[in-house]
Amino acid sequence: MTEPDLTEAAAAIETAADVVRVATRSLAETGSVDADQVLAYDLAHAAAAVETARSMLDYGAKGEIEGRLTCVFVADVVADLAAKLWAREAVWGAEASALESSRSFVTSWRDPALLAELAREDGPRHLDDEFELVQDSFRRFAEEQVAPHAEHIHRENTDIPEPLIQGLAEMGLFGLSIPEAYGGFAGGGESDYYGMVIATEELSRASLGAAGSLITRPEILARALEAGGTEEQKQTWLPRLAAGEIMNAVAVTEPDYGSDVANIKVAASRVDDGWLITGVKTWCTFAARADVLMLLARTNPDRSLGHRGLSIFIVPKDRADGHGFKLTQPGGGTMEGRPIDTLGYRGMHSYELAFDNWLVPAENLIGEASGEGRGFYYQMAGFENGRLQTAARALGVMQAAYEAAKEYSENRIVFGAPIADYQLTRAKLTRMAALIQAARQFAYSVGRMMAKGEGQMEASMVKAYVCKAAEWVTREAMQIHGGMGYAEEYAVSRYFVDARVLSIFEGADETLCLKVIARSLVSAVDA
């Protein structure tokens, strides 16, 4: 078998990175992100793939299996870039021979016979003892408490059982990213992010909708409070979030303004005893069960201010079930929730929310007076962490799909042999394993950056790249199951439909690529 050569792998990564740099400079000098959207989108994904590959090099040095998975992944990244570049060299501002120096490496590590030989090797994770314990604890809970309910919740679109939420609260899930000073477990270092990523992956491996996504909304609200909340607000809300005493939903998107947050219309009007909220939000996940909503509203009616006229409120509400609700305040304000049926991601339930003069206390404006007009920035502070957490959710779904495909392939006999014996199946499993491990290492890498106050663009990269990868992995896992993959009898069909939402929420793929990643790349050139 070909021996891994990380020096060659690193050289191939740098060759690919050079192409990305050339294209970025070309876009900055002769085009624009808004006018050249196809190039900007492909460039963003190429840049994310290169950074994912770069994060694999340290992992590849840990052993022979690790090195082989690294080389397989790097070869795939360069080959994918070549496909984007071919016949579009002029658009990219690159030479046709830009990747030629990597041809021999890519040829070796995309060889079908070699890929087939590497099947069944998904590589160790090399976690420290502390994080092995985190993984084992949440995996055990997921397998014993979540997995038995996952299919029922998905097929019947039921609410998440309260014992699951309570059990995760007792394990400290909701306090993983909240500082110790406010009742959580975060010490302000890399371990905070590692713990969150590992716990999220293990829970999502059992069910994205029933467990893996429960920490997302508390994570976003906690970060927004840390970024802009008053000390009194932090003392009031963070300990309750950490303990799971309250659960929250996030109300940002509106029917006419999806990712275009700056133009939202839901209004907050000042009155003597607080603010009156009026308007419609949509895609507010977990809204019925939530005790509070993190709501972005326009506090300045001057729409020319764009995002500078927005503020964030913590909006208390009563709990309701997952089949629609209408709440009324003593003063006459109403909040009505209409459930939105979805093909996957069930259990969390998404809603369209209609507010009519819903009163929110003045002290629930995050930052109070100093927070007016700062809501967009506080929201983004929360969403950066939410994107890393979403990548971890994608990891769990991919891992579950890979394990299901591997097991099924070993037991399913076709034409007299297990389908795991066929070259095509084995090559697919190898590429799936390499991609999952690379995604995992990139998530860890981004967590290390964010612990230092860095990695804002990389958080968008990991979300965009890993969530799109999850679609491919779950599709291939479903395909390996053949006709049974299309039957709800097998969980792989749930993984497939759940994976599809990952590139849509917490920042749609196209928006992240065009508005965040590509623009950040171009801005770095201009700087």
Just list the catalytic residues: 506
- At a CB cut-off of 8 Å and minimum separation 6, what does 467 contact? 390, 391, 394, 499, 502, 503, 509
* Cα-trace Rg, the chain: 23
- At a CB cut-off of 8 Å and minimum separation 6, what does 508 contact? 258, 259
Which stretches does DSSP call E strand in 171-291? 248-251, 267-271, 274-285
Distance of alpha carbon 391 from alpha carbon 373, whole angstroms = 30
Task: Give the residue ranges of DSSP H helices in 287-374.
Answer: none
Angle at 402 between CA 43 and CA 49, to 5 degrees: 15
Which stretches does DSSP call E strand in 61-209? none
**Is residue 249 a contact partner of residue 171, using CB atoms and an 8 Å limit?**
no
Residue in the structure block whose two tokens are 């040829």? 107
Burial level of 496, CB count in 10 A (0-12/13-18/19+)? buried
Sign of torsion over alpha carbons 507, 511, 516, 518: positive
Q: How far is CA 188 from CA 179, 192, 238, 501, 520, in A?
A: 7, 7, 15, 31, 26
Which stretches does DSSP call E strand in 91-198? none
